[in-house]
A and B are shown apart, each in its own frame.
Chain A
Amino acid sequence: MSILKNGREVAILGVGMHRFGLWPDSTNADMSRVAGLAALKDAGLSFKDVDAAYVGQIFAPVMAGVRVMKEFGLTGLPVQRLDNASATGSACLYEAVGSVASGRYDVAMVLGFDKMTGIVADSSANTDPANLEDAILPAAFFAMWATRRMHERGTKPEHLAKIAAKNWHNGGLNPMAQRQPDKPVPIEKVLSSRMVAWPMTTMMSCPIGDGAACAIVGPVELAKKLNPGRPIVKVVASALQSERYDRGHLFMGPVVGPGRMTVDTSAVCYEQAGLGPKDIDLVQVHDAFAIEELEYYELLGICGKGEAEACIDRGDFELGGRVPFSTDGGLIARGHPGGPTGLAQIWETTLQLRGEAGKRQVANARNGICHMMGGGSVCVMHILQKG
């Protein structure tokens, strides 16, 4: 089934990454070349076969998108640069999937890259002393989600620490993760790491970093021809939404809009895919802070309202649990350079659905959600399905 009425079915033909981390000696072009060539090789395609490119980056200067694409050759293909904050890579995929489904292009390359080292030296970088909003850090915004949740549901800092420890553990199993601990991270260590904005500690928060990720998309028919015998990874849902007004809407200071954005966007995706939360086998979310992942368990309908804490205590979202979340370490451990983050989720889910995720492999994975929030704000969500 296509995401468009009368449209073509779309598949992820190939994926590639440059490991996220602090890479002061690598340029955006270097990292993008590594990720892009890996994705082309994975797809079994040459850059000559690429009809269009959607490039996402947040921190690099104007023109960086089209310039970086020259690393692959100068074939005259259309190149568009897109920015939607943290959801930039996901937003690029959304455009590429729509263009292939509509028949405008056959093969679209989706590339995300960013370098935060040297740009964001501290949390107050890029701030204007006259801006009231600069007084509030992103961590503080999400910490207030946590305080409210603790008030309404009796959530404990330990629940947030368990989510973070899980994601650190998963990062240790992912060669592309920024944080790869070589031994288990105890929840006590997460709780006693530096307090950023109560009750959120540094180890419950994503790091800054550099990296690149790439996905090649095309029609399902092409996927069958290119790699016969390999499971096909279909894009069965693709949606992007901005904020809707409800009373109590925060206009100044918030990083992202209300939880309703995830509910509404996932409803569109479930409808497109003809699936429900019960059909989902694994999920990647915008876990920039551990409290976000906790809220998304419920907002995506993977557990009932008010049940997240009990599910965390049961281990439902760990590898081997009922529905593993952030299997590659999530933003907290895999990292969150910005532009490429949403495409790292596509890399992970594609490997999982093909059964190529190694020690992180989710058994019998068939349907995977990739969910991102982009500051401002937007919610972008895709569902990938093993064909």
Chain B
Amino acid sequence: MSGTARARRPLKQGYFTVPENPAEPPKLMGTVCKDCGEYFFPKRVVCAKCLSENTADAMLGPQGTLYSYTFVHFPLFGSTKVEHSTGYGVGQVDLPEGPRVQVPLAGKQEDFKVGMPLVAELDPIREDGDKDVVILRFAPVAGGAK
């Protein structure tokens, strides 16, 4: 961890990891059903597929595939970042384990293409004392389809 990196905290606990190392991508905190093997995001107690309660925490991602996207022409709610004031990308992302998640995307509308590979990252949206408040978003994989 570099000496200049600011501490980070998630906007909401229990949805994604905030690794100590800023270069390490976050993972999504989900659930796996130990009876039928289905994965879910976010966490749940009862399996939505087979109704079993024999479930456990599971880390998902950080890779994903873009199922669909849009670019919202409104400021991102709760963000003080200038780049969010004119709008932000949103995508539905398929995780390799099965769940589909709806999350903000890094980049401009022309950067997105259905089916492109993505990776999760943490995006600071405002400051809280000496910490950056971060949300989870997905970004095009460097050198990926553009």
A residues neighboring B (CB under 8 Å): 123-124, 127, 129-132, 134-137, 139-141, 143-148, 151, 194-200, 245, 247-254
Contacts and interface: CB of A to CB of B under 8 A. Distances in A.
B68 A145 contact: yes
A198 B41 contact: no
A10 to B, nearest CB: 35
A144 B77 contact: no
B45 interface: no
Interface in B2-24: 11-12, 15
Contact of A132 (B12, B44, B88, B99): B12
A249 B135 CA distance: 22
A130 B12 contact: yes
B38 A247 contact: yes
Given A132-B12, A136-B90, A198-B109, A141 B102 contact: yes
B29 interface: no
A144 B68 contact: yes
B70 A144 contact: yes
B124 to A, nearest CB: 14
A368 B49 CA distance: 35
Contact of B41 (A194, A197, A252): A252
A196 B88 CA distance: 11
B77 A134 contact: yes
Interface in B100-130: 100-104, 109, 114-115
B34 interface: no
B77 A124 contact: yes
Interface residues of B, number: 38
B72 A132 contact: no
What 5 pairs across the A-B complex have the smallest Cβ distances?
Answer: A253-B102, A143-B70, A148-B68, A144-B68, A151-B114
A247 B49 CA distance: 9
A198 B101 contact: no
A137 B74 contact: yes
Nearest to A198: B71
Contacts of B74: 123, 137, 196
B30 to A, nearest CB: 10
A136 B102 contact: yes
A63 B103 CA distance: 36
Contact of A131 (B12, B49, B68): B12
B62 interface: no
Given A132-B12, A252-B101, 7 more contacts: A129-B78, A132-B15, A198-B73, A248-B94, A248-B100, A251-B42, A252-B42
Contact of B73 (A127, A146, A196): A196
Interface string B79-95: 00000000010111010
Contacts of B94: 248
Nearest to B100: A248
A30 B49 CA distance: 47
A200 B136 CA distance: 25
B22 to A, nearest CB: 21
B106 to A, nearest CB: 13
Contacts of A135: 76-78, 88, 90, 104, 135
B77 A127 contact: yes
A28 to B, nearest CB: 28
B98 A197 contact: no
A136 B92 CA distance: 11
Contacts of A140: 70, 72, 90
A197 B75 CA distance: 11
Contact of B102 (A124, A151, A197, A254): A254
Nearest to B84: A135
Given A129-B78, A250-B102, A197 B48 contact: no
Nearest to B92: A144
Contacts of B115: 151
A199 B112 CA distance: 14
A146 B114 CA distance: 12
Most buried by B among A195, A245, A248, A251: A251
A251 B72 contact: no
B68 A248 contact: no
A143 B90 CA distance: 10
B126 to A, nearest CB: 9
Interface in B37-60: 38, 40-42, 44, 48-49
Contacts of A145: 68
27 contacts: A124-B77, A129-B11, A130-B12, A132-B15, A134-B77, A135-B76, A135-B88, A135-B90, A135-B135, A140-B70, A143-B72, A144-B69, A144-B92, A148-B68, A148-B92, A151-B68, A197-B70, A197-B71, A245-B48, A247-B38, A249-B48, A249-B100, A250-B92, A251-B44, A252-B41, A252-B101, A253-B102
